[in-house]
């Protein structure tokens, strides 16, 4: 089940060595021992999924999960180099789908993302579905909501409780130009109103420990998807701690 606590996703993209992955994962795990009001999902590169899982499963924490960054749109067959949902379903609980870097660098379209969402759900993996507009001038709540509706077409409403949405304005990713938190809250609210209250909506795009709280205080924003700042263990732990409420659980 998807947590009711704030959710913080680390998207390491294609940036870590095995040693980096293990160091960040171990530091986050250690810090999370004291945090009980936040759910963290680490998304390593495919090849580090197994070693990271091995490392974390020695001392498992219920609020630390592993996600993949992509899956194939096909379930199996002659697709050289692809990795299917069924291959990783025992390694991960989540998968990031439809990230803008898949769209801009690998020509993924809404239909492809839709197929991947279905496959993930078929294999009991929770999809983290990314959606956002390309340019600031395209920015409109309606644009984002309509795009999401197309991506989720054919996905039954009962499945919405098993899906996380990451609202990621593409112009805010990797740019240090994060979106206005009031606007993000408005988008999140509209997504819930138009699609379902069951959907949890995260924000992603140049999140760091300086701006994370701006989003987390908003009622309709359920968490954050963090790229660059998730590669620095201390910085990422700080974001997790802000989401946790900045306090240790003593209960
Ligand atoms: P960023 O990446 O935090 O480095 O902007 C976010 C993302 O790609 O989801």
In the predicted model, what is the mean pLDDT of residues 171-193? 95
Of 92, 154, 156, 96, the closest CA to residue 124 belongs to: 92
Residues 125, 92: Cα–Cα separation, whole Å: 7
pLDDT in tens, 192-216: 999 999 999 999 999 999 999 999 9
Cβ neighbours of 119 (radius 10 Å): 22
**How close is the Cα of 196 to the center of ligand 1, in Å?**
25
Question: Is the model's pLDDT at 121 over the cut of 80?
Answer: yes
Domains and CATH numbers, the chain: 7-244 (3.20.20.70)
How far, in Å, from the CA of 205 to the mean position of ligand 1?
A: 5
pLDDT of residue 1: 86
| Nearest-atom index, ligand 1, CA of 206 | 5
Segment 219-222 long-range contacts (CB within 8 Å, at least 24 positions apart): 219/185, 219/189, 220/185, 220/188, 220/189, 220/192, 221/181, 221/184, 221/185, 221/188, 222/6, 222/7, 222/164, 222/188
What atom in ligand 1 is closest to the CA of residue 226? 3
Spatial distance between the Cα atoms of 31 and 82, rounded to a whole number of angstroms: 34
Q: How far is the CA of 251 from the centre of ligand 1 (A)?
A: 34
Share of the chain above pLDDT 90, in %: 94
- What confidence score (pLDDT) does residue 251 get? 32
Work out the number of other CB atoms within 10 angstroms of the CB of residue 112: 18
Q: Which residues contact 90 (CB under 8 A, 6 or more apart)?
A: none
Q: How confident is the model at residue 76 (pLDDT cuts 50, 70, 90)?
A: very high
How many angstroms does the Cα of residue 230 sit away from the middle of ligand 1?
9
Q: Using one digit for the tens of pLDDT, what is the confidence trace for 124-160?
A: 999 999 999 988 877 789 999 999 999 999 999 999 9
The protein residue with its alpha carbon nearest to ligand 1, atom 7, reads 227
Residue 204 has what pLDDT? 98
Write the pLDDT tens digit of every residue in 216-246. Answer: 999 999 999 999 999 999 999 999 999 999 5
DSSP-derived secondary structure letter, 25:
H
Pocket-testing residue among 164, 173, 224, ligand 1, by greatest number of atoms within 8 A of Cβ: 173
Average pLDDT of 43-69?
97
Of ligand 1's atoms, which has the minimum distance to the CA of residue 228? 4
- Residue 99, classed as helix, strand or coil, is coil
**Residue 248 pLDDT exceeds 70:** no
Confirm if 67 and 92 have CB atoms less than 8 A apart: yes
Q: What is the pLDDT of residue 247?
A: 42
């Amino acid at each position: 089940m998807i947590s009711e606590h704030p959710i913080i996703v680390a998207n390491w993209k294609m940036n870590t060595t095995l040693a980096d992955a293990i160091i960040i994962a171990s530091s986050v795990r250690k810090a999370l021992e004291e945090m009980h009001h936040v759910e963290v999902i680490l998304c390593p590169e495919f090849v580090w999924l197994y070693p990271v899982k091995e490392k974390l499963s020695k001392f498992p924490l219920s609020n630390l999960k592993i996600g993949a960054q992509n899956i194939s749109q096909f379930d199996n067959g002659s697709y050289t180099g692809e990795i299917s949902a069924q291959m990783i379903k025992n390694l991960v609980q989540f998968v990031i789908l439809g990230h803008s870097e898949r769209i801009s660098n690998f020509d993924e379209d809404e239909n492809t993302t839709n197929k991947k969402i279905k496959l993930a759900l078929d294999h009991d993996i929770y999809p983290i579905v990314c959606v956002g507009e390309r340019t600031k001038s395209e920015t409109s709540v309606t644009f984002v909501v309509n795009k999401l509706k197309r991506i989720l077409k054919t996905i039954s409403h009962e499945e919405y409780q098993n899906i996380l949405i990451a609202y990621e304005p593409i112009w805010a990713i990797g740019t240090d130009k994060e979106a206005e938190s009031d606007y993000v809250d408005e988008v999140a609210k509209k997504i819930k109103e138009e699609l379902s209250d069951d959907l949890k909506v995260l924000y992603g795009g140049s999140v760091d420990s300086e701006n994370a709280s701006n989003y987390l205080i908003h009622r309709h924003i359920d968490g954050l998807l963090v790229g660059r700042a998730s590669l620095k263990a201390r910085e990422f732990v700080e974001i997790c701690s802000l989401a946790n409420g900045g306090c240790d659980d003593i209960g």
